[in-house]
């Protein structure tokens, strides 16, 4: 490892020493003449050379107006020519990616802090906010938004675009996921469907091909929905309670209201198959951020423990597994059958005897209605989860018909496959703020906010693609470059360009930094 400075108060750069046998000028000459005398691993050497030589390249002062607050999210246009930054102070900033200069500023883009920005195509992008709204914009005229969408009842944190079904998908702290048909709208609003609802929903992401939805939660696990079909998702998962099923897994107790949904985990399902991820290197609680690999191979997440004394970045494989891997992924719980059950008692029995104690969404909204524009996402404002024991666990006539037809599911609990491939521990800084990692366009590198800087993490020391270095057991991510103290405050966002070797990061101090490889 090499470092450019020794002071802890000034910018410093720590990088792995480059391969001295690789000459980049020779590589450019070979490419110019169209020669293809590349040996195995040559592309890995090129990638390592580029990523290990990332430096700051800002051409001007990148500090914005202090009133802008934190730079909460960054997004490049699909062609990489434009960068949009959204701010805690309700602003939307548009940058020319070539000159790194602000070309337009939208003041008061929302009524509260802006959380996320997503390009839907080359000219249109969407933003969402703590004011519960989503706005659509046209880069050719950003004086005013094209349309404002209402539907969520709490802070909107995620915007995704499904190319497969041509709909925009959003999620919020009201626990709901909405699918918006942007081509069909009524007089007052666009048509949308509530396709998913659960307590403790934190982040929602789609794979690039739209075949999977990944959800992170405040309860220490993630959900994969395989073979995603947004049109039938709400119907297919009707009444399914993920937290209740997760409680069954933890407690080793079967609840009829949970086991009747075992079929949702079946590998024979052709659409909207459910799978949980719960293997983490720590006792994960709030999985605060989530990003998907460009090829849909894996998901990178960042989580906190319940005590907020540890923060980890983890990589999980999300690809479809061989059905044989699931054959023994269950446990059979022994049940004590009562000797006699009075018929009157049976008829008066409640639908279930053990339920999750949820904080209702309406109650949650009322409780926090008076909150002013929050400077950050405090965990105390998230829905809580508890357990209410209403009495003994007993027989239930409501489910007897189902279990008479499917006796194999009565005492069966589906278990989760280990899917974690890589991990690394993060510093605990900027408590209460969500730090958003990102993948490089080729998927070889993860950029992770680290205190007042960033670090570039690879799957191994050769900077290989994940498909070439899948470990048998979870391994620590390898730090390729650490750019420390480049910002004046904690970094909370970063983004790679989709078409160029260009990287940006934003901090809580209204500052954006630009980076590129300097050979």
**Do the strands 124-129 and 133-138 form a parallel or antiparallel pair, or are they unpaired?**
antiparallel
- Helix boundaries (H) for 359-405: 361-367, 400-405
pTM of the model: 0.85
CB 453 within 8 A of CB 484: yes
- Which residues, given as ranges, of the chain have pLDDT below 70? 1-10, 15-25, 28, 36-38, 59-62, 185-190, 335-399, 402
Distance CA 224, CA 485 (A): 36
Q: What is the CATH number of domain 8-18+40-331+414-517?
A: 2.130.10.10
- Helix boundaries (H) for 210-287: 230-236, 242-251, 256-259
Could you tell me the maximum CA-CA distance found in the chain, to the nearest angstrom? 88
Q: Which ranges in the chain are annotated with CATH 2.130.10.10?
A: 8-18+40-331+414-517
DSSP run (H or E) holding 47: helix 42-51
pLDDT at residue 71 in the model: 97
Distance CA 206, CA 462 (A): 29
379-382, long-range: CB within 8 Å, 24+ apart, which pairs? 379/218, 379/286, 379/304, 379/308, 379/432, 381/173, 382/173, 382/200, 382/202, 382/218, 382/286
Q: Which of 379, 216, 234 is nearest to 291 (CA)?
A: 216
Q: Which of 131, 152, 154 is nearest to 363 (CA)?
A: 154
CA dihedral 366, 368, 370, 372 (to 10 degrees): -150
CB 448 within 8 A of CB 455: yes
pLDDT at residue 346 in the model: 41
DSSP run (H or E) holding 85: strand 82-87
CB 453 within 8 A of CB 486: yes
């Amino acid at each position: 490892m090499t470092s450019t400075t020794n002071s802890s108060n000034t910018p410093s750069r720590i990088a792995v020493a480059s391969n001295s046998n690789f000459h980049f000028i020779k590589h450019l000459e070979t490419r110019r003449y169209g020669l293809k005398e590349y040996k195995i691993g040559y592309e890995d050497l090129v990638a390592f050379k580029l990523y290990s030589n990332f430096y700051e390249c800002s051409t001007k002062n990148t500090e914005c107006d202090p009133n802008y607050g934190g730079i909460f999210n960054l997004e490049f246009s699909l062609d990489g020519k434009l960068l949009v930054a959204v701010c805690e102070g309700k602003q939307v900033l548009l940058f020319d990616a070539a000159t790194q200069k602000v070309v337009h500023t939208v003041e008061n883009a929302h009524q509260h802090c802006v959380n996320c920005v997503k390009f839907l195509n080359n000219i249109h992008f969407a933003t969402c906010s703590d004011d519960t709204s989503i706005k659509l914009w046209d880069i050719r005229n950003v004086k005013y938004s094209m349309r404002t969408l209402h539907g969520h009842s709490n802070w909107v944190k995620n915007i995704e675009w499904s190319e497969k079904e041509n709909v925009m998908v959003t999620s919020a702290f009201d626990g709901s996921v909405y699918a918006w048909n942007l081509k069909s709208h009524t007089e007052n609003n666009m048509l949308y469907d509530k396709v998913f609802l659960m307590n403790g929903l934190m982040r929602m992401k789609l794979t690039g091909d739209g075949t999977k939805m990944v959800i992170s939660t405040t309860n220490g696990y993630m959900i994969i929905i395989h073979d995603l079909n947004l049109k039938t998702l709400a119907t297919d998962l009707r009444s399914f309670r993920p937290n209740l099923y997760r409680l069954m897994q933890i407690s080793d107790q079967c609840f009829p209201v949970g086991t009747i949904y075992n079929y949702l985990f079946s590998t024979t399902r052709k659409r909207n198959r459910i799978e949980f991820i719960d293997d983490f290197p720590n006792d994960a609680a709030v999985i605060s951020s989530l990003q998907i690999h460009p090829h849909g191979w894996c998901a990178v997440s960042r989580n906190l423990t319940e005590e907020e004394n540890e923060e980890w970045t983890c990589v999980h494989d999300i690809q479809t597994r061989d059905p044989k891997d699931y054959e023994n992924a269950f446990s059979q719980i022994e049940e004590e059958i009562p000797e006699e059950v009075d018929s009157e008692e049976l008829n008066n029995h409640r639908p279930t005897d053990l339920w999750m104690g949820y904080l209702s969404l309406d109650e949650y909204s009322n409780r926090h209605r008076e909150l002013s524009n929050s400077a950050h996402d405090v965990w105390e404002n998230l829905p809580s989860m508890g357990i209410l024991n209403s009495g003994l666990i007993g027989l239930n006539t409501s489910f007897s018909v189902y279990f008479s037809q499917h006796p194999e599911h009565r005492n069966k609990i589906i278990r989760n496959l280990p899917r974690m491939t890589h991990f690394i521990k993060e510093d605990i800084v900027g408590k209460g703020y969500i730090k958003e990692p990102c993948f490089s366009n080729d998927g070889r590198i993860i950029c992770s906010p680290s205190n007042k800087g960033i670090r570039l993490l690879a799957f191994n020391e050769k900077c290989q693609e994940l498909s070439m270095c899948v470990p048998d057991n979870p391994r620590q991510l390898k730090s390729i470059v650490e750019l420390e103290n480049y910002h004046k405050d904690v970094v909370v966002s970063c983004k790679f360009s989709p078409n160029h070797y260009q990287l940006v990061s934003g901090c809580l101090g209204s500052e954006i930094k630009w980076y590129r490889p300097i050979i």
